[in-house]
Chain A
């Protein structure tokens, strides 16, 4: 190395070098610039909900349609499964006990269609009761209207529960 090249190098006295360049970075500071494969852990933040595959999503939704609460069981949401099975099952059973009527698949009028859709939302509860001949309904009974409302609501709530299953399986809800 000749002397001319040495002289062309920048001087290394304290005034000409910036403070940042004078001290090497610590390992912790270097780690902050290292590329990361995952997001850093944030204290207090909830982990992102896991998503199920499309096949498992469809299976869970179908299970929820057939038996209320069973879709949540497939997704291992035990507390919701128990509550939905108990609440919807009890509501449907009370509807039958109060002489409510199970409306069959009659598509001749709009309201009969809607009644059937609401009733059939309970899945196997509806179909098993219908095939067994339950839910004939007694319009003269004291709580006939209440019975119908209990049966409609059980089916409609189960439809909401199936939407909840889909959201959980797709990772939109914890």
Chain B
């Protein structure tokens, strides 16, 4: 598993699943919250990565 974005997607999916089951009740609400969190994780990670890209850290 030497693919960073795949690992990030797996991490996001697992963490979102746990958060959705903790925070929401009912299949519909959980599904909506899961996709909201999962999308936020993935998109914000890519966005932060792009913002950090020019910096020579």
Contact = CB atoms under 8 A, between A and B. Distances in A.
A98 B17 contact: no
A153 B15 CA distance: 8
B22 to A, nearest CB: 5
A157 B7 contact: no
A149 interface: yes
A157 B15 contact: yes
Interface residues of B, number: 13
A79 interface: yes
Contacts of A174: 25
Interface stretch (A24-32, A57-65, A81-89, A128-136): A81-89
B46 interface: no
Interface string B13-32: 01101100110010000000
Nearest to A174: B25
28 contacts: A79-B21, A80-B21, A83-B18, A84-B21, A87-B14, A87-B17, A88-B18, A90-B14, A91-B11, A91-B14, A94-B1, A98-B1, A98-B7, A142-B2, A143-B2, A143-B4, A143-B7, A146-B4, A146-B7, A146-B11, A149-B11, A153-B11, A157-B15, A160-B22, A161-B18, A161-B22, A164-B22, A173-B25
